[in-house]
Amino acid sequence: MKLFLDTASVDEIKVINDIGVLDGVTTNPSLVAKEKSNFRGILKEICGLVKGPVSAEVVATEYEGMIKEGTELAKMADNIVVKVPLLKDGVKAVGKFTSLGIKTNVTLIFSPLQALLAAKTGASYVSPFVGRLDDVSHEGLQLVEEIITIFDQYEYKTQVLVASVRHPLHLVDAAMLGADVATMPFKVFDQIFRHPLTDVGLKTFLADWEKGKKQI
């Protein structure tokens, strides 16, 4: 499973990218609004840092506007993926982007049939929001399972990108279901490096080493 960061913070991206485990980045208008620089400036910097796909979302909600914004975004770097909300106009725009060879990520997916509609027009990724479904007492990971099952039946090439990840268990479950990608906030990416037994074990190893005073 590929691991993406869900952030528009260049500082956060640098930390994970430097370790060599970052496969891509997703942004959304709320994340971009938190940053000081302008959208294009941020995107240019992120696309220069990260080799993998970088999702940049359109804010237009009708077809023509989405096509205009999306084609401009796609020109900014080879690794831009145009993120489009699941609306009728959004699905139509995805068809156009597909015909132009522009990669797309269809966002705000909350049902398996929404994912099917996005796949039909050639979406590169669909983003089911697991955390937001859990928040309203629906099993977010069940949606991921349903989408994967449906895509497998018909051999759609659209990748399942698990979004709105809130904790490491979401990632374990997503990986066990065979999701293609999971995108997560920096806090969760940081958490998956850690285990209390790793810390305790390392402390003991180093203390024993000191006691033994062996030469390297």
Residue 99, Cβ density class (10 Å: 0-12 exposed, 13-18 middle, ≥19 buried): exposed
CA distance 1 to 136: 26
For residue 157, the minimal CB distance to ligand E4P (Å) is 19
- Give me the residues that bind ligand E4P (CB under 6 A), please: 6, 26, 28, 107, 127, 129, 131-132, 163-164, 183
- Please tell me the distance from the alpha carbon of residue 206 to that of residue 63, in angstroms, as a whole number: 61
Tokens 């037994």: give the residue: 197
Nearer to ligand E4P by Cβ, of 67 and 182: the residue is 182
* Closest distance to ligand E4P from the beta carbon of 18 (Å): 22
Helix (H, G, I), strand (E, B) or coil at 3: strand
Q: Which residues contact residue 24 at a Cβ distance below 8 angstroms, ignoring those fewer than 6 apart?
A: 2, 4, 5, 50, 52, 53, 54, 55, 79, 181, 183
Q: What minimum distance in Å lies between the beta carbon of 43 and ligand E4P?
A: 14
Cross-strand partners of 25: 5, 54
Query: Among 14, 34, 68, 83, which one carries the catalytic annotation?
Result: 83
- Nearest to ligand E4P of 89, 134 (CB atom): 134
Catalytic, 83? Answer yes
Q: At its nearest, how many Å lie between ligand E4P and the CB of residue 205?
A: 37
CB nearer to ligand E4P: give 148 or 188: 188
Q: Which residue, 5 or 74, is less far from ligand E4P as judged by CB?
A: 5
| Residues labelled catalytic | 83
